[in-house]
Amino acid sequence: MAKFTGESIIDESQVKPKPAVNSAMAAALVQPQAVVAKPIAQTVVPNISLPPHDERSFALSEANRRATEKLQIAEEKRKETTKRADQASAPPGAAFMEKAQKLKDFEGYLIDYKDELSKNKKVLPANIPLMPVDANTATITSKYTALLMGIKDAYQLGALTGPDMSLVESQLTNPATISGIRTSRDAMKAQVDVLEGILKRSKENLESSYGKKMDLGVAKSSNPIGAPVGAPPNVKQAKDGKWYSPDPARPGKYLQWGGD
C-alpha cells in the first residue's frame, strides 16, 4: 500500500527493516589502539672516581677475595675427592665396624658412669673458686665428661640414632655442680636409663641397616687394665709407675690415683 507524503510516494510494503547491530561483534572489529609505553626513568649513577691509591687498594682487595674463594672451592673439592677415594678403598664392612666400635666405647663410658653413681659417694661442686676438688668429685666429673664425649663421638659418626643429642646432653645432670647436688641419685639413674634405651635402639638400627650382628665382646669398663679402683677412664700410668688423670677443675694439672 502506497502512502503519499507530499514529496514522494513510498510503498511501505517494500521498505526493509534495518538489521540489528551486534555490539560484541562491533567491538571485536574495532582496531585496538596502540598503547604507548611510558619511558622508564633511569637512575643516573654519578661517576665517582677514587683516588689512585684507593683504586689500587680496592682492586687488590677484590683480587684477594676472588683468589680466596677459588682456594676454598678447590679445598672443598679436594676433601670430597679424598673422602670418596677413602670410601672406595675401605675394606668391606669398615663403616659398620667403625660405628659398632663407637657404640661399644659409649657403652663402656656409660657402664663406668653408672657404676660410679651406684656408689652414692659424697660429691661437692667442682667449680667453686678456692675450694679444693676431692677425689670423689674428680672421679665422677671425669666419668661424666667421658660419657658426654662418647655420646658426641657416636652421634657425629651416625652410630647413635634417636632424639637430638644436644637435648639429651642438656638433660644429663653433672653431679659435680650445684644442680647436681640438688638432684637425687635416683633421678640421675633415671637419666642413665634413658641413655641405655637410646643405646639399645641404636644397636638394633645399626644391625638392621647393615644386616650384621655386633660381635665385639661383652662391654666392659673403659678403664685401662691395672688402673686403680675408682680412677676415671682417662687415667694413664706414668714412668714412675703411678696413675694420673687430668684435673677437671684445674686445667693443666693432674690428680694422682692409687698412690701416696
- Cα 105 from Cα 103, distance rounded (Å): 5
Q: How many CA atoms lie within 13 A of 122 on its CB side?
A: 2
Task: List residues bridging with 150 in a β-sheet.
Answer: none
pLDDT digits (tens, 9 = 90+) for 207-258: 888 888 877 555 555 556 566 655 666 777 777 777 788 876 677 788 777 6
Nearest Cα neighbor of 92 from 218, 246, 212 is 212
Least confident of 3-17, 60-74, 168-182, 205-219: 3-17
- Cα 121 from Cα 124, distance rounded (Å): 10
- Cα 144 from Cα 134, distance rounded (Å): 16
pLDDT(35) > 70: no
Report the chain's mean pLDDT, rounded to a whole number.
Answer: 75
pLDDT(174) > 80: yes
What residue ranges do the domains of the chain occupy?
94-215
Tell me what the mean pLDDT of segment 91-119 comes to: 85
The pLDDT value recorded for residue 12 is 55
Band the pLDDT of 78: cuts 50, 70, 90. Answer: confident
pLDDT(185) > 80: yes
pLDDT(108) > 80: yes
pLDDT digits (tens, 9 = 90+) for 150-166: 888 888 777 776 666 67
- Cα 226 from Cα 236, distance rounded (Å): 10
pLDDT digits (tens, 9 = 90+) for 117-151: 988 888 888 777 777 788 888 888 888 988 888 88
